[in-house]
């Protein structure tokens, strides 16, 4: 096999393959179990636990660097994910409601999701490292937008097309379990085909070699140093609080968006069909999120991080009011709902830019890469912890009060934004 291969032959498919399992584990699982009648509290708890591999992946990332090559890890994790995903359609639990969680097949299904989640988190580590090794600096810059685009396309496919497809099958067959079995089978086959394709298409860069100079014990010691230096950084307490709490309102909101749109009107929801949810949240919402992120990056490069913080914090929090409106009026129009979701997701994409830029800012210095990995662990934890209880809070107070609670949580974002200190020039693009 050639050591160099045209990046168009593998970068788009690699990042589509990076995104698809993530959205199947963290988004499709929510809609699927909701369609099966699982209560919101239980639903949010179990699906939020699936975030854990992305929270703790910094713990094993050094071993991905020392044991085997990045290419070996990519191929191995894709094979493992293919096997887990191909097994899922045949092992889904039957029945409906709370009883699902007490069936043996539910724990088998959750185990397969966990395997996919751990393999996907490991694949993320290897794929991002491989991208740096397989491309020269010019190609890296040229394809950074391409990789982001295909990751977003995997989001549209996972949250939009697959969800809509399940909804159409459910409507035509009146069989929720069959709809999701066929949908998951299609996604697994597509992923397995990409896995086979990557056995041929991935190049073999000369820099991607197994380390023969550093032992696992050395890696453990060095990793201990990265931890100690990270937690000795200046303003570490306020930084960690910012990482955990900046997205506090959105962490509650995002876990309940799909259940809110799917629940019947008499229960405070919007009573939408599964295919409509796939269209609105999985396509319109993702498109608005992407546009917001792009404009956020442009704004941050002109204003710098310090001047971006407050406009972006406002952008992250204020659009949450759109769900207060939806809960209060429960509009039947798909266009009104779509506009509200687009507004919220655009604001989230724009506001999230400051968060990511701060993670990069705080990671500066010795062990920059390892410290950034630790920051992303806190980033995942910030979504996981509120998600664990979001469903139970909603069940206790109803959707209207729940979204009012989300607005109160916006004060937490304001507080942690006020606390942090940053260099006024950081993030500004040089003229």
Gyration radius of the chain over CA positions: 22
* CA neighbor of 341 nearest in space, from 409, 264, 283, 262: 283
Q: Provide the pLDDT for residue 74.
A: 94
* CA neighbor of 356 nearest in space, from 287, 283, 294, 412: 294
CB-CB neighbours of 311 under 10 Å: 16
Q: Give the list of residues 6+ apart from residue 414 with CB closer than 8 angstroms, or none.
A: 313, 317
DSSP 58: G
Sorted by where each begins, the domain ranges of the chain are 1-213, 218-431
> What backbone torsions phi and psi does residue 215 show, to the nearest 5 degrees?
-85, 165
Q: Provide the pLDDT for residue 2.
A: 47
Q: Provide the pLDDT for residue 419.
A: 92
> For each of the chain's 431 residues, which pLDDT tens digit applies?
445 678 889 989 999 999 999 999 999 999 999 999 999 999 999 999 999 999 988 888 777 877 788 899 999 999 999 999 999 999 999 888 888 888 899 999 999 999 999 999 999 888 888 887 787 766 766 676 678 788 888 988 998 999 999 999 999 999 999 999 999 999 999 999 999 999 999 998 877 776 555 566 777 777 788 888 889 888 899 999 999 999 999 999 999 999 999 999 999 999 999 999 999 988 898 899 888 888 888 888 888 888 989 999 999 999 999 999 999 999 999 999 999 999 999 999 899 888 988 888 888 877 777 788 888 889 999 999 999 999 999 999 999 999 999 999 999 999 999 999 888 887 776 64
Domains 1-213 and 218-431 share a fold: yes
Q: Provide the pLDDT for residue 100.
A: 87
> What backbone torsions phi and psi does residue 213 show, to the nearest 5 degrees?
-115, -15
* CA neighbor of 38 nearest in space, from 332, 259, 230: 259
Domain 1-213: state its class: mainly alpha
Q: Which CATH number fits domain 218-431: 1.20.1250.20, 2.30.110.10, 3.30.40.10, 3.40.50.980?
A: 1.20.1250.20
* pTM for this model (two decimals): 0.86
Alpha-carbon distance values, 424 to 150, 304, 305, 308, 309 (Å)? 33, 7, 7, 10, 11
Q: Provide the pLDDT for residue 63.
A: 78
Q: Is 228 exposed, middle or buried (0-12, 13-18, 19+ CB in 10 A)?
A: exposed
Alpha-carbon distance values, 289 to 65, 152, 326, 342, 349 (Å)? 32, 9, 19, 8, 5
CA 256 – CA 158 distance, rounded (Å): 18
Q: Give the list of residues 6+ apart from residue 370 with CB closer than 8 angstroms, or none.
A: 58, 61, 62, 223, 226, 230
CB-CB neighbours of 25 under 10 Å: 29
């Amino acid at each position: 096999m050639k050591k160099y291969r045209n990046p168009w032959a593998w970068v788009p498919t690699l990042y589509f393959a990076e995104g698809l399992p993530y959205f199947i584990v963290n988004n499709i699982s929510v809609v699927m179990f909701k369609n099966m009648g699982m209560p919101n509290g239980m639903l949010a708890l179990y699906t939020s636990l699936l975030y854990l591999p992305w929270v703790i992946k910094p713990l094993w990332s050094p071993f991905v660097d020392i044991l085997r090559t990045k290419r070996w890890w990519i191929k191995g994790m894709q094979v493992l994910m293919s096997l887990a995903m191909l097994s899922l359609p045949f092992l889904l639990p039957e029945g409906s409601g709370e009883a699902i969680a007490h069936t043996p097949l539910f724990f088998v299904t959750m185990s397969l999701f966990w395997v996919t989640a751990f393999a996907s988190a490991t694949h993320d580590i290897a794929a991002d490292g491989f991208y740096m090794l397989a491309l020269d600096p010019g190609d890296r810059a040229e394809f950074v937008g391409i990789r982001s685009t295909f990751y977003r396309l995997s989001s549209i496919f996972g949250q939009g097309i697959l969800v809509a497809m399940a909804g159409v099958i459910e409507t035509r067959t009146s069989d929720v379990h069959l709809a999701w079995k066929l949908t998951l089978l299609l996604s697994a086959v597509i992923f397995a085909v990409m896995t086979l394709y990557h056995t041929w298409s991935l190049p073999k860069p000369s820099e991607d070699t197994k380390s023969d100079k550093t032992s696992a014990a050395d890696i453990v010691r060095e990793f201990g140093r990265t931890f100690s230096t990270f937690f000795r950084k200046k303003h570490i307490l306020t930084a960690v609080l910012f990482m955990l709490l900046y997205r506090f309102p959105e962490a509650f909101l995002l876990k309940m968006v799909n259940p809110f749109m799917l629940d019947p009107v008499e229960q405070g929801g919007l009573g939408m069909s599964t295919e409509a949810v796939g269209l609105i949240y999985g396509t319109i919402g993702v498109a608005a999120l992407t546009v917001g992120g792009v404009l956020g990056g442009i704004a941050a490069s002109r204003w710098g991080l310090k001047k971006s913080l407050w406009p972006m914090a406002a952008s992250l929090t204020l659009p949450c009011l759109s769900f207060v409106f939806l809960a209060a009026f429960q509009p039947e129009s798909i266009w009104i709902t779509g506009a509200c979701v687009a507004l919220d997701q655009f604001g989230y994409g724009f506001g999230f830019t400051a968060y990511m830029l701060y993670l990069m800012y705080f990671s500066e210095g010795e062990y920059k890469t390892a410290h950034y990995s630790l920051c992303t662990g806190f980033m995942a934890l910030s979504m996981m912890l509120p998600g664990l209880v979001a469903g139970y809070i909603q069940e206790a107070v109803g959707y209207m009060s729940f979204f009012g609670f989300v607005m109160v949580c916006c004060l937490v974002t304001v507080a942690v934004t006020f606390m942090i200190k940053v260099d006024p020039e950081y993030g500004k693009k040089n003229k």
